[in-house]
Amino acid sequence: MTASLFPLFADLRNRTVLVVGGGAVAERKVEALLQAGALPQVGSPDLSEGLRRWLEAGRIRWRAGTFDEEWLDEAWLVIAATDDSAVNRQVYDAATSRRILANVVDDAELCSFHSPAVVQRGLLQVAISSGGGAPMLARHVRRQLETLLDDSLGTLAEVLTRQRDAIRARLPDLGLRRRFFEKLLAGPLPRLLRRQLDATQADAYLHGLLEKENPALPAGSVVLVGAGPGDPGLVTLNALRAMNEADVILHDRLVSAEVLRLARRDAIRIEVGKSAGRHSTSQDEIHALMLEHARQGKRVVRLKGGDPFVFGRGGEELEFLRAHDVPFEVIPGITAAVACAAYAGIPLTHRDHAQSLRLVTAHCKDSLSALDEGGVDWSAMAQEKQTLAVYMGVAGLEKVREQLLLAGAAPHLPFALVENGSRPQQRVITGTLASLPESARHHRVQSPALLILGEVAALADSLHWFGAAPLAAPELSANPQHSDNLGAPTLPQAA
Ligand code: SAH
């Protein structure tokens, strides 16, 4: 087995580091060294413009000429960044014989220390190394971390550094201090820093916590998170972070397995979905579960398909949490109407076809009855130049057609049914209102499916891009006059 490198963060403040080379690469290295408070000495016959400026500002020393072993006399480290491999090797050999760590830029063989790929957030630095053999992999991992670690971590590191003594004084016991930090870092402070607080306010917040009777006691919280329609790429960065920080995830059945796989491995996952034929959790039971775990000091993620505030009962859950004094946050998600439309090639609004959009649910019988029976305002729904997005509608399609036609909608009004929108198994069925329920039955449309009604729905036939092309209504595919195969021979012959 090859030995791995020993990771090390060096304190180079006021220590001499020799950089051999005077070009752009040397300049980059010198810049990093200056940031670390080191005293760079640059050895080279001439200097780049940037190096010259630092020299004039008194920030670096210049050893003019070709490499001389004596340059190493004061050096703690040496970096060779010349374009002459013989010189680079000479520097490396001379340094090694003096037991000074040396780095030849871009030559892993001639390195007794490597510079890692770094993600930096103020004082917080994450260094990544592949051992020198696979720098592209290290860079790839760095890019992934760049998206996960946001700027507020720098402020957080700064605040914690500043408050270190105060925290130690208040919690001299190491065990208690650990628990305090765990609670602090898992709690709202990192999130508050991300959105609302500046460093001074964070200092005050921390002091407030320290003044509490028992600062190390955990405080639970709930984050209401929209998981989007199923494609894991449609999960927001905030949702991803919340899932990474969760102790407990209460998720709907609608949340896809691919999305759940993004969550922290150790998190307890509880499906609280409602679905036909399975045990379903009542809303009261969901409330009780959230409360139970939050009161144990857990970070609870309440994960819902799409957006939590669009036909997701998110409002009720927050009312419950507020009534029980449980702190909460909400992270929006991409709702089914937006996702299904995009993945089916249906612009929800369009200058020629629709100036407004209605999100409607056809969930229960009541919601589909007439306005005077406590249901929907069907005459408003039947208006032209708008788009209807009907959620949970598969079972109520007969009723939707009946009510819309009664209210004056045109029988040839286009529809698109999007089943499993944004998922690999997505299907889109297009047709007109007159044949809507028959079409759905013919193609055995299953939940989850979203119904889009309006002129824009017809655009799916020409603008589709994801998965299979839209399926037609049954009377069209059954009618030979409309069949592509039969139409082909009558096409004009190519000249
Ligand atoms: N809060 C969710 C909606 C919950 S209601 C959101 O914002 O999307 C559940 C209904 O949403 C389903 O019956 C279906 O009509 C629709 N839906 C959710 N995900 C869907 C998907 N991937 N494809 C099609 N419809 C979907």
Q: Which atom in ligand 1 lies closest to the alpha carbon of residue 392?
A: 13
- Pocket lining: 445 vs ligand 1, CB cutoff 6 Å: no
* 114-128, 190-204, 239-253, 439-453: segment of lowest average pLDDT: 190-204
Catalytic residues: 252, 274
From ligand 1's centre to the CA of 229, what distance in Å? 7
In 337-409, where do the E strands start and end? 356-361, 386-391
| Average pLDDT of the segment spanning 359-365 | 78
From ligand 1's centre to the CA of 420, what distance in Å? 9
- Pocket lining: 428 vs ligand 1, CB cutoff 6 Å: no
For 11, 347, 367, 404, 484, the CA distances from 356, given in Å and listed in that order, are: 61, 11, 21, 17, 35
Whether the CB-CB separation of 226 and 332 falls below 8 Å is answered with yes
For 319, 374, 403, 439, the CA distances from 378, given in Å and listed in that order, are: 30, 11, 7, 22
| Average pLDDT of the segment spanning 449-457 | 97
Whether the CB-CB separation of 230 and 336 falls below 8 Å is answered with no
User: Can you tell me whether residue 383 is helix, strand or coil?
Assistant: coil
202: pLDDT confidence band, cut at 50, 70 and 90?
confident
Q: Which CATH superfamily is domain 340-485 in?
A: Tetrapyrrole methylase, C-terminal domain (3.30.950.10)
Structure tokens that stand for 190 in this block: 């990192």
- Pocket lining: 379 vs ligand 1, CB cutoff 6 Å: no
Half-sphere exposure of 67 (CA within 13 A, CB side): 24
DSSP 147: H
Structure confidence at residue 274 (pLDDT): 62
- Rounded CA-CA distance 217/2 in Å is 45
- Phi and psi at residue 399, to the nearest 5°: -65, -40
- Pocket lining: 303 vs ligand 1, CB cutoff 6 Å: no
Whether the CB-CB separation of 434 and 411 falls below 8 Å is answered with yes
The CATH T-level fold of domain 221-334 is Cobalt-precorrin-4 Transmethylase; domain 1 (3.40.1010)
- Report the range out of 201-215, 242-256, 361-375 with the highest average pLDDT: 242-256
Q: Please check the confidence at residue 421 and state whether its pLDDT lies above 90.
A: yes
Q: Which residue has the CA at smallest separation from atom 11 of ligand 1? A: 391
| Average pLDDT of the segment spanning 16-22 | 98
- Pocket lining: 312 vs ligand 1, CB cutoff 6 Å: yes
* 61-65, 99-103, 280-284, 332-336: segment of lowest average pLDDT: 280-284
For 78, 85, 95, 133, the CA distances from 91, given in Å and listed in that order, are: 8, 10, 6, 22
Which residue shows structure tokens 């799916």? 460
In 113-231, where do the E strands start and end? 117-121, 124-128, 221-226
Structure confidence at residue 364 (pLDDT): 61
The predicted-structure confidence for 27-43, as pLDDT tens digits, reads as follows 999 999 999 999 999 99
Instruction: Enter the CATH code of domain 16-115.
Output: 3.40.50.720
User: Can you tell me whether residue 226 is helix, strand or coil?
Assistant: strand
**C-alpha angle 405-342-428 in degrees, rounded to nearest 5:** 55
Structure confidence at residue 121 (pLDDT): 92
Structure tokens that stand for 361 in this block: 């649910």
* pTM confidence score: 0.64
Structure confidence at residue 478 (pLDDT): 46
195: pLDDT confidence band, cut at 50, 70 and 90?
confident
- Rounded CA-CA distance 428/37 in Å is 61
From ligand 1's centre to the CA of 281, what distance in Å? 18
Candidate from 304, 311, 359 with most ligand 1 atoms within 8 A of CB, to mutate: 311
Tell me, what amino acid is at 452? I
Structure tokens that stand for 450 in this block: 């979203």
Half-sphere exposure of 378 (CA within 13 A, CB side): 22
From ligand 1's centre to the CA of 305, what distance in Å? 7
The predicted-structure confidence for 329-359, as pLDDT tens digits, reads as follows 999 999 999 999 999 999 999 999 999 999 9
Identify the CA nearest to 457 among candidates 347, 298, 381, 316: 347
| Average pLDDT of the segment spanning 231-249 | 94
- Pocket lining: 160 vs ligand 1, CB cutoff 6 Å: no
- Rounded CA-CA distance 118/116 in Å is 6
Structure confidence at residue 297 (pLDDT): 80
Identify the CA nearest to 321 among candidates 293, 341, 346, 345: 293
- Pocket lining: 332 vs ligand 1, CB cutoff 6 Å: no
Structure tokens that stand for 58 in this block: 């008194």
- Report the range out of 140-154, 167-181, 211-225, 402-416 with the highest average pLDDT: 402-416
CB burial readout 333-365, b (16+ within 10 A) else e: bbbbbbbbbbbbbbebeeeebbeebbbbbbeee
Sheet-wide strand order for 414-419:
356-361, 386-391, 449-453, 414-419, 427-432
